[in-house]
Amino acid sequence: MFGEESATAEPAAERPATGAAAAAPDEFVDLGSLVLEKAGSERRSTRFRVPATDPQSEADVNFAALLDQFKSMVSEAIEEEDAASHYDLGVAYKEMGLIDEAIAEFHVAARGIEYRLRAIEMLGACFSEKDEPRIALKVLSRALQVRGYRDEDLIGIFYAMGRAYEALGESASALEWYERVVGCDVGFKDVTRRVAALRH
Protein backbone atom coordinates (compact mmCIF):
# COMPACT_ATOMS: atom_id res chain seq x y z
CA MET A 1 0.00 0.00 0.00
CA PHE A 2 2.94 2.30 0.66
CA GLY A 3 5.62 3.46 -1.78
CA GLU A 4 6.38 6.07 -4.39
CA GLU A 5 4.57 6.42 -7.67
CA SER A 6 6.51 6.01 -10.86
CA ALA A 7 6.93 9.22 -12.85
CA THR A 8 5.41 7.49 -15.86
CA ALA A 9 2.42 6.03 -14.03
CA GLU A 10 -0.93 6.49 -15.72
CA PRO A 11 -3.45 8.81 -14.06
CA ALA A 12 -5.71 6.90 -11.64
CA ALA A 13 -8.81 7.54 -13.77
CA GLU A 14 -7.19 5.90 -16.85
CA ARG A 15 -5.57 2.93 -15.15
CA PRO A 16 -7.49 -0.38 -15.66
CA ALA A 17 -9.00 -1.73 -12.46
CA THR A 18 -7.85 -5.17 -11.40
CA GLY A 19 -9.04 -5.10 -7.80
CA ALA A 20 -10.19 -2.89 -4.95
CA ALA A 21 -6.77 -1.30 -4.49
CA ALA A 22 -5.64 -1.35 -8.12
CA ALA A 23 -7.46 1.82 -9.16
CA ALA A 24 -5.77 3.94 -6.53
CA PRO A 25 -2.13 5.19 -6.62
CA ASP A 26 0.17 3.30 -4.29
CA GLU A 27 0.37 6.07 -1.72
CA PHE A 28 -3.39 6.52 -1.37
CA VAL A 29 -6.08 4.65 0.50
CA ASP A 30 -9.16 4.75 -1.75
CA LEU A 31 -12.47 4.78 0.13
CA GLY A 32 -14.54 5.61 -2.93
CA SER A 33 -16.62 2.50 -2.47
CA LEU A 34 -17.52 3.58 1.06
CA VAL A 35 -18.24 7.29 0.62
CA LEU A 36 -21.41 8.05 -1.33
CA GLU A 37 -21.70 11.17 -3.42
CA LYS A 38 -24.67 13.30 -2.34
CA ALA A 39 -26.92 14.56 -5.13
CA GLY A 40 -26.41 18.22 -5.86
CA SER A 41 -23.36 18.50 -3.64
CA GLU A 42 -19.70 18.93 -4.50
CA ARG A 43 -17.82 15.69 -5.07
CA ARG A 44 -15.77 14.87 -2.00
CA SER A 45 -12.27 13.52 -2.38
CA THR A 46 -11.92 10.03 -0.98
CA ARG A 47 -8.20 9.75 -1.54
CA PHE A 48 -6.10 10.05 1.55
CA ARG A 49 -2.37 10.67 1.40
CA VAL A 50 -0.74 8.49 4.03
CA PRO A 51 2.78 9.63 4.94
CA ALA A 52 4.92 6.60 5.65
CA THR A 53 8.45 5.35 5.47
CA ASP A 54 9.37 2.26 3.51
CA PRO A 55 9.15 -0.54 6.09
CA GLN A 56 12.00 -3.06 6.07
CA SER A 57 9.88 -5.75 7.71
CA GLU A 58 6.40 -6.37 9.10
CA ALA A 59 7.75 -5.58 12.55
CA ASP A 60 8.39 -1.99 11.41
CA VAL A 61 4.72 -1.40 10.63
CA ASN A 62 2.77 0.10 13.52
CA PHE A 63 -0.66 -1.27 12.64
CA ALA A 64 -2.42 0.48 15.53
CA ALA A 65 -1.11 3.87 14.43
CA LEU A 66 -2.10 3.24 10.82
CA LEU A 67 -5.56 2.12 11.91
CA ASP A 68 -6.02 5.26 14.03
CA GLN A 69 -4.94 7.38 11.09
CA PHE A 70 -7.33 5.53 8.79
CA LYS A 71 -10.26 5.92 11.21
CA SER A 72 -9.54 9.61 11.60
CA MET A 73 -9.58 10.15 7.84
CA VAL A 74 -12.75 8.09 7.44
CA SER A 75 -14.55 10.08 10.14
CA GLU A 76 -13.75 13.28 8.24
CA ALA A 77 -14.91 11.86 4.89
CA ILE A 78 -18.11 10.02 5.89
CA GLU A 79 -21.01 12.01 7.23
CA GLU A 80 -22.85 10.83 10.33
CA GLU A 81 -26.10 10.48 8.38
CA ASP A 82 -24.53 8.27 5.70
CA ALA A 83 -25.86 4.96 7.05
CA ALA A 84 -24.85 2.98 3.95
CA SER A 85 -21.20 3.92 4.22
CA HIS A 86 -21.10 3.27 7.96
CA TYR A 87 -22.68 -0.14 7.38
CA ASP A 88 -20.18 -1.02 4.64
CA LEU A 89 -17.30 0.13 6.81
CA GLY A 90 -18.64 -1.98 9.68
CA VAL A 91 -18.71 -5.04 7.42
CA ALA A 92 -15.12 -4.33 6.33
CA TYR A 93 -13.96 -3.99 9.94
CA LYS A 94 -15.74 -7.21 10.93
CA GLU A 95 -14.12 -9.12 8.08
CA MET A 96 -10.73 -7.84 9.27
CA GLY A 97 -11.46 -9.06 12.79
CA LEU A 98 -11.77 -5.51 14.17
CA ILE A 99 -14.97 -6.29 16.06
CA ASP A 100 -15.07 -3.25 18.36
CA GLU A 101 -14.58 -0.91 15.40
CA ALA A 102 -17.30 -2.79 13.50
CA ILE A 103 -19.70 -2.42 16.44
CA ALA A 104 -19.16 1.33 16.50
CA GLU A 105 -19.98 1.61 12.78
CA PHE A 106 -23.06 -0.63 12.98
CA HIS A 107 -24.39 1.48 15.86
CA VAL A 108 -24.25 4.53 13.58
CA ALA A 109 -25.75 2.64 10.63
CA ALA A 110 -28.64 1.40 12.80
CA ARG A 111 -29.86 4.99 13.20
CA GLY A 112 -30.82 5.03 9.52
CA ILE A 113 -34.14 3.41 8.68
CA GLU A 114 -32.93 1.72 5.49
CA TYR A 115 -30.06 -0.09 7.21
CA ARG A 116 -31.58 -0.56 10.66
CA LEU A 117 -32.41 -4.27 10.45
CA ARG A 118 -29.17 -5.27 8.76
CA ALA A 119 -27.10 -3.21 11.18
CA ILE A 120 -28.87 -4.64 14.24
CA GLU A 121 -28.40 -8.16 12.89
CA MET A 122 -24.68 -7.48 12.41
CA LEU A 123 -24.45 -6.01 15.91
CA GLY A 124 -25.91 -9.24 17.26
CA ALA A 125 -23.35 -11.23 15.27
CA CYS A 126 -20.51 -9.06 16.57
CA PHE A 127 -21.50 -9.48 20.22
CA SER A 128 -21.95 -13.22 19.69
CA GLU A 129 -18.46 -13.32 18.19
CA LYS A 130 -17.19 -11.55 21.31
CA ASP A 131 -18.82 -14.35 23.33
CA GLU A 132 -21.40 -11.97 24.78
CA PRO A 133 -24.72 -13.64 23.82
CA ARG A 134 -26.77 -11.81 26.47
CA ILE A 135 -25.76 -8.45 25.02
CA ALA A 136 -26.48 -9.86 21.56
CA LEU A 137 -30.01 -10.74 22.66
CA LYS A 138 -30.62 -7.25 24.04
CA VAL A 139 -29.41 -5.66 20.82
CA LEU A 140 -31.39 -8.03 18.60
CA SER A 141 -34.58 -7.44 20.59
CA ARG A 142 -34.48 -3.80 19.43
CA ALA A 143 -35.45 -4.96 15.95
CA LEU A 144 -38.51 -6.76 17.33
CA GLN A 145 -39.79 -3.52 18.84
CA VAL A 146 -39.87 -1.66 15.52
CA ARG A 147 -43.31 -1.63 13.92
CA GLY A 148 -43.91 -2.37 10.27
CA TYR A 149 -41.66 -5.38 9.79
CA ARG A 150 -43.03 -8.74 8.65
CA ASP A 151 -41.64 -12.05 9.89
CA GLU A 152 -39.98 -12.46 6.50
CA ASP A 153 -38.08 -9.22 7.11
CA LEU A 154 -36.95 -10.41 10.54
CA ILE A 155 -35.80 -13.91 9.59
CA GLY A 156 -32.13 -13.02 10.12
CA ILE A 157 -32.96 -11.57 13.54
CA PHE A 158 -34.92 -14.72 14.50
CA TYR A 159 -31.98 -16.91 13.50
CA ALA A 160 -29.50 -14.74 15.44
CA MET A 161 -31.76 -14.91 18.49
CA GLY A 162 -31.74 -18.70 18.22
CA ARG A 163 -27.96 -18.78 17.98
CA ALA A 164 -27.59 -16.54 21.02
CA TYR A 165 -29.95 -18.64 23.13
CA GLU A 166 -28.19 -21.78 21.95
CA ALA A 167 -24.85 -20.28 23.07
CA LEU A 168 -26.39 -19.69 26.49
CA GLY A 169 -27.49 -23.32 26.69
CA GLU A 170 -31.18 -22.36 26.65
CA SER A 171 -32.27 -24.97 24.13
CA ALA A 172 -36.03 -24.48 24.48
CA SER A 173 -35.78 -20.76 23.69
CA ALA A 174 -33.34 -21.42 20.85
CA LEU A 175 -35.70 -23.98 19.34
CA GLU A 176 -38.60 -21.54 19.53
CA TRP A 177 -36.69 -18.94 17.52
CA TYR A 178 -35.40 -21.48 15.01
CA GLU A 179 -38.95 -22.72 14.45
CA ARG A 180 -40.01 -19.16 13.62
CA VAL A 181 -37.24 -19.13 11.02
CA VAL A 182 -38.48 -22.44 9.57
CA GLY A 183 -41.97 -20.93 9.39
CA CYS A 184 -40.59 -18.26 7.04
CA ASP A 185 -37.98 -20.22 5.10
CA VAL A 186 -37.18 -23.87 5.74
CA GLY A 187 -33.98 -23.55 3.71
CA PHE A 188 -32.53 -20.61 5.65
CA LYS A 189 -28.86 -21.32 6.46
CA ASP A 190 -28.51 -24.44 8.64
CA VAL A 191 -31.73 -23.93 10.60
CA THR A 192 -33.21 -27.35 9.71
CA ARG A 193 -30.16 -29.13 11.10
CA ARG A 194 -30.22 -27.03 14.28
CA VAL A 195 -33.92 -27.71 14.85
CA ALA A 196 -33.36 -31.45 14.40
CA ALA A 197 -30.42 -31.42 16.82
CA LEU A 198 -32.37 -29.56 19.51
CA ARG A 199 -35.40 -31.85 19.21
CA HIS A 200 -33.35 -34.96 20.01
Per-residue pLDDT reduced to its tens digit, 13-45: 444 444 444 444 455 545 555 544 444 444 454
Count of CA atoms in the C-beta half-sphere (13 A) of 189: 14
pTM for the full predicted model: 0.65
Q: Is 161 exposed, middle or buried (0-12, 13-18, 19+ CB in 10 A)?
A: buried
How far apart CA 54 and CA 173 sit, in angstroms, is 55
State which residues of the chain have pLDDT below 50. 1-25, 29, 35-43, 45-50
Yes or no: say if 30 and 24 are a contact pair by the CB < 8 Å rule: yes
How far apart CA 101 and CA 64 sit, in angstroms, is 12
Q: How many beta carbons lie within 10 A of that of residue 194, not counting itself?
A: 20
| Amino acid 38: pLDDT | 43
